[in-house]
């Protein structure tokens, strides 16, 4: 059972952003500090990648583990109520991500998904991003 009233839940969910999230801002600052420059949210590319490195033909997606179904992650759990609504929605997000990734490959772009849970180990994340972009 949900602990919030319908209008309270609606108000809380309306605060969930798609751009400029805290995890995205952390990755943007880190990539910038490594000396890389990028464009944001290119709508001409499948999936509107969060960071676009045009000359390198590489993109980075910053995904929340819950919203994009990061398998094996403790942050990727199902809600306790309204599973009939949430399960298809969250699985649809995952399916759409996979389709966008396939389209990016077809267009000759390389991509990296940075998961929200990866932000806890900055040294490892720095190494992975440098390796991907280098």
Q: Where are the domains of the chain?
A: 19-133
Sign of CA dihedral 96, 42, 129, 57: positive
- Out of 67-76, 92-101, 113-122, least confident range: 67-76
pTM of the model: 0.86
Mean of the pLDDT values across residues 42-60? 97
Q: What is the pLDDT of residue 81?
A: 81
Contacts of 99 (CB under 8 A, 6+ apart): 46
Rounded to 10 deg, the angle between the 122-133 and 22-33 helix axes is: 60
Confidence of residue 13 (pLDDT cuts 50, 70, 90): low
Q: Shortest CA distance to 118 belongs to which of 60, 43, 57?
A: 60
User: 1: pLDDT confidence band, cut at 50, 70 and 90?
Assistant: low
Two tokens at 45? Answer: 């590319």
Tell me the CATH architecture of domain 19-133.
3-Layer(aba) Sandwich (3.40)
Q: How many CA atoms lie within 13 A of 73 on its CB side?
A: 16
pLDDT of residue 22: 93
> Which pLDDT band holds residue 86 (cuts at 50, 70, 90)?
confident
pLDDT surpassing 90 at residue 20: no
Where does residue 1 rank: exposed (0-12), middle (13-18), buried (19+ CB within 10 A)? exposed
Q: How many other β-carbons are positioned within 10 Å of the β-carbon of residue 61?
A: 21
- The Cβ of residue 56 has, within 10 Å, a number of other Cβ atoms equal to 14
């Amino acid at each position: 059972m949900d602990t919030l009233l319908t209008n309270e839940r609606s108000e809380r969910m309306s605060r969930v952003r798609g751009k400029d999230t805290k995890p995205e801002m952390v990755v943007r600052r880190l990539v910038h500090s490594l000396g890389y420059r990028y464009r944001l949210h290119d709508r001409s590319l499948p999936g509107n990648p969060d960071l676009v490195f045009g000359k390198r033909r590489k993109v980075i997606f910053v995904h929340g583990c819950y919203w994009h179904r990061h398998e094996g992650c403790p942050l990727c759990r199902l809600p306790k109520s309204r599973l009939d609504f949430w399960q298809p929605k969250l699985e649809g997000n995952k399916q759409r991500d996979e389709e966008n990734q396939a389209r990016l490959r077809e267009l000759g772009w390389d991509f990296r998904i940075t998961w929200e849970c990866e932000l806890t180990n900055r040294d490892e994340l720095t190494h992975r991003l440098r390796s991907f972009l280098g």
